[in-house]
Amino acid sequence: MRERVTRRRFLKRSAAALAAPLIVRASVLGAEAPSNQLHVASIGVGGRGAGLMYEAAGQPNAKIVAVCDVFQDRREKHAANLNQRYGTNLCTPYRDLREMLVREDIQAVTIGTPDHWHVPAALLAVRAGKDVYVEKPLGISLEEDFAIRREVQRYGRVFQYGTQQRSMSHIRFGCELVRNGRLGKLESVEVTAPSYGFEGGSLEPEPVPEGLDYDLWLGPAPYRPYTKDRCTCWGTYWVLDNAHGFIGGWGAHPLTDMVWALGDDAGAVPVEYEGTGKFGTGLFDAPFDWDIRGKFASGVAFHFTPGGDRATIVGQRGKVHISRGGLRTEPESLMQEKIGANEIRLYESNHHMGNFLDCVRTRRRTVAPVEVAALSDSITQLSMIAIYTGRRIRWDAQREVILDDPGASRLVSRAMRPPWHL
């Protein structure tokens, strides 16, 4: 039987993990040495989380040695599948991530939980000495975004944000066109993200299904009775207790592309936000429609709405339309531009998970580090605050504070259900 995890034991083992070297010579431990073989764990293995797990498992010299999920059938099924692949009982299933994270042999984790668990799980992993790949969106409050950025920097961990469009060559080229002035002076930016208009969802309490640790699924979220729709994929995206809907759940992709094109710094974040949103009814109460307008410190106009997956950057000499599906420019001749050796060349990654695991080995920064994740996600958070308050929100991007609005400033954090905390 596994040892019962206590706070003292967890902290003690976490400290030991931080002190231990990540690289051990192969001559000491053979072909399975950490220097040759990364041991990865996956937290949350339903839907997208399972996809991340198998992406990592498919990379050279990386093996999934643990899977953690509050659904018993999920964790046991995926552990069995991986063990069949490996031909040995290498992968262990866990219900509680705290029990798994005390393992000193785990070097990195993928996090594909519901949104409200992204930052709390990442904080536990980082403090236990693990590198983290965190699915988007980052957090559900500005306070969460800044907490994980601070701790990743404090512990020197490798972080990859799950915005895989940064590992697509056409996205990189579109951003390089903007960075190198091919559009001339910038005039406006328009960002669109899909929204499938989910409304409804059952509010009728039901017994918790056997094999689900529902209290742990809720974790830091407010207690609510279990319903048949709450723990589904769409339930976790469209319930405000757990997420922001697709304004963050998909908006993270084009917003991160926009931030890349505009400089990956505080100047790439708008400083004013004003707009409206339409909220769902029933269980699915997140906004399914929104219209956010604002501006950057440079005076460039910003507009964020549903309607696709695209960041459009407009300048005096042309436009670029950057999306997962492809890159389009106006005029078309911009597509034939060459980026010179002495011009700005952006980070080249051609496989997002592969980039993360390579950086775990080399300790290099990833293509989507935590600083970028916090910048991008802050746009979602401030857009939501503008919708909630119905007021113009003014943001000091250097000091990262809301200006002259105490009521709005209180919305930068969310209460967490004890004993969970940042």
From CA 117, how far away is CA 220, in angstroms rounded? 8
Output phi, psi for 101, to 5 deg: -70, -10
pLDDT interval class at 197 (50, 70, 90): low
Contact predicate 135/112, CB 8 Å = yes
Amino acid symbol at 95: R
Q: What is the mean pLDDT of residues 29-51?
A: 79
From CA 420, how far away is CA 422, in angstroms rounded? 7
Q: What is the mean pLDDT of residues 30-43?
A: 73
Q: What is the mean pLDDT of residues 147-166?
A: 98
Q: Which pLDDT belongs to residue 11?
A: 45
Q: If you average pLDDT over every residue of the chain, what do you get?
A: 92
Q: Which pLDDT belongs to residue 408?
A: 98
C-alpha radius of gyration, the chain, whole number: 22
Per domain, the residue ranges of the chain are: 7-164, 168-199+229-339+370-412
* Cβ burial, residue 394 (10 Å; 0-12/13-18/19+): middle
CATH of domain 7-164: 3.40.50.720
The pTM assigned to this predicted structure is 0.91
Q: Where would I find the H helices in 345-405?
A: 352-362, 370-389
Q: What is the mean pLDDT of residues 80-96?
A: 97
Cα dist from 3 to 17, 35, 101, 215, 292, whole Å: 18, 28, 13, 21, 51
pLDDT digits over 178-187, tens only?
Answer: 999 999 999 9
Structure tokens at 323: 């999306």
Q: Which pLDDT belongs to residue 21?
A: 34
Q: Which pLDDT belongs to residue 133?
A: 98
What's domain 168-199+229-339+370-412's superfamily in CATH?
Dihydrodipicolinate Reductase; domain 2 (3.30.360.10)
Q: Which residues contact 83 (CB under 8 A, 6 or more apart)?
A: 89, 90, 91
Q: Which pLDDT belongs to residue 329?
A: 98
Q: Other CB atoms closer than 10 Å to residue 115's CB: what's the count?
A: 22
**28 by DSSP, 3-state: which?**
helix
